[in-house]
Structure 1
C-alpha cells in the first residue's frame, strides 16, 4: 500500500468518525503529512479528505497558534503555493490551487482571536498577490481529476485578507489583482469565479478604507479591456459577467450609490 493510499484510508476513517483526531495521532505532524499530498490528482483525497479534514481541524481549534503559523508558512512556500508556477495544463496546478485555500482557513481563526503580527499579515498578503500575478493555469474543473479552480481559490484568500488587513494600500492592491484575474485573454470563466471575486471586492467595500473616487477610478479600469486586444471576445465576456455580478450583489446589499456607479460601467462595456 502506498503512502497516498494509506493516507486516504486513514482519512476516510477520520471522516466517518466526525473528523475527531484519533487518540494515537499527533495532529500537527499529521497535517504536514496531509499537505505532502495536497496536490494529488485524486480529487477525493485532495478535496473531500485532505482539505476537508484540515478545514475541520483548524476550525475546531485542534492546532496551537504556533502550529497554525507553521502550516501557514508551509503552504505559502516555494514547494506549495509556488510549486511549478508558470506551468499550464499540468497537474502542478492542484498543489498551488489547494495550497492557497489554507491561508483563508487560518485567517478566519486570526480574525476571531488575533495571533498573527502585522508583519506576518503583510507577508501573507504579498505572497498571495505574487502568486496571483504568476499563476497561468486558471482551469476550473479538470475532467477525471476534479477541481483546480485557482482563480476562485485565490479570490477566497483575498476575501480573507481583506477582512484581516483593512488597510488602504492592500485594498488598492486587491482591486488591481482582481482586475488582473478577470481580464484573462485565453480562458472564459464558467465556474462562478466571478462570484468568488465579487465576494472579495465587497469585503473590501465593507472595510470603508477607500474613497468614493478611488472606487470610481477602479470601476472604470474595468472598461479598459479594450487596451488588451479590442477583438478579444474572451476579455469582454469575462468583464461583462464580472460587472453584472457586482451590480446584482450591490443591489442585493442595497448599496444604491455603488450600484449606480457599476451600472454606468456596465453600460460602457456593453456599448450603450
Structure 2
C-alpha cells in the first residue's frame, strides 16, 4: 500500500486497527506523515493526514518514541520557519499545520525543556515574520498567525517565563499591525489571550501602557510620512479593531483602569481623524 491507501485504512479502521499497526515502530510511515503535513491537496493534508494525527493523539496510539520522531522531524526540517515570508503560496499550510502538530504532540516535560524553548522562540519568529495572513482559503484552512499564537500560549503557560518573554510576545503581536492586512477570523482574540496571560502572571500594567503608546506613536509617524497610503489605512483599521477588542475585554473584567483609560483616549483621538 502507498501512504494514502495506508492512512485511509488506518483512519477508517479506528483505534483498534491503529493501535495494532503502531505496535511496530513504523518509522517510514511516520516520515511519510511529515512529508504530507503541508500537502497542497487539502483532502490529503487536512481530511486524511491531520485527522489521522488527531486520532493517534486522542486515543494515545503512539509511543513516546514515535511522537518524538514526529517532533524531531518537524524541528530538524525547520518546518515552522523554513518557508516564512512567502505569500499566497501553499507553503502557508506547512507552517500552520506544523504549529498544530507540535501543540498536539508535545508533552508538558518537553514544553519545559530546551526543546520547548527553541519551539517557543521559533513560534514567536513565525508570528512576527509571517506574511501570508489568510485564514480560510479555497485550498483549505491556513491561519498560520492564529495557530502560532495558540502554540505560544500553550508553551508560555507551561514554561511560566512570563517576564522573559513579555517583550518578544508584544513585539510579535505588534508586528501584525503593519502588514497591510486586517484580520477577520478572530486572530485578535488569540493575541488578547496572550496579553491576558501576561497580565494574569505579574507583567506590569505600565509596560502595556507604554506598548500601546508606542503603537499609536508609530501610527502617527506613518501618517505623517505616508499620508493616506494603504500601509497607513490598513494599519489604522487593524490597530483600532484590536484596541476596541482590548478595551472591552478590560472593561468587562472591570480591572486595569489605567490601561482602559489610555486605550480609550487613543481610540477617541483616532476616530476623529
- Please tell me the TM-score bracket, short chain as reference: 0.7 to 0.9
Question: What's the Cα RMSD here?
Answer: 2.8
Distance 1:153 1:125 in 2: 12
Alpha carbons of structure 1 residues 34 and 236: separation in structure 2 relative to 1, 3 Å:
same
Q: Deviations over 1:130-162 (max 9, x none)?
A: 22333221112222x111111111111111122
The residue number in structure 1 matching 2:219 is 226
Alpha carbons of structure 1 residues 115 and 123: separation in structure 2 relative to 1, 3 Å:
closer
Q: Report how many residues are paired.
A: 260
The residue number in structure 2 matching 1:258 is 256
Give the TM-score normalised by structure 1.
0.81
Distance 1:28 1:2 in 2: 13
Deviation at 1:79, TM superposition (A): 4.7
Give the TM-score normalised by structure 2.
0.81
Give the stretch that moved more between structures: 120-129 or 222-231: 222-231
Alignment of 1:189-200 (within 5 A): 189-200=183-194
Q: Which has the larger radius of gyration?
A: 2
Alignment of 1:89-238 (within 5 A): 89-107=88-106, 109-110=107-108, 114-143=109-138, 145-167=139-161, 168-181=163-176, 183-208=177-202, 210-226=203-219, 229-230=222-223, 231=228, 232-238=232-238
More helix by share: 2
Deviation at 1:87, TM superposition (A): 1.4
Following TM superposition, the consecutive aligned residue runs of length 4 or more in structure 1 with deviations greater than 6 angstroms are none
Distance 2:58 2:251 in 1: 32
Say if 1:31 and 1:54, in contact at 8 Å, map to a contact too: no
Say if 2:134 and 2:142, in contact at 8 Å, map to a contact too: yes
Alpha carbons of structure 1 residues 85 and 240: separation in structure 2 relative to 1, 3 Å:
same
Deviation at 1:225, TM superposition (A): 4.2
Deviation at 1:71, TM superposition (A): 2.6
Q: Which 5+ residue runs of structure 1 have no aligned equivalent?
A: none
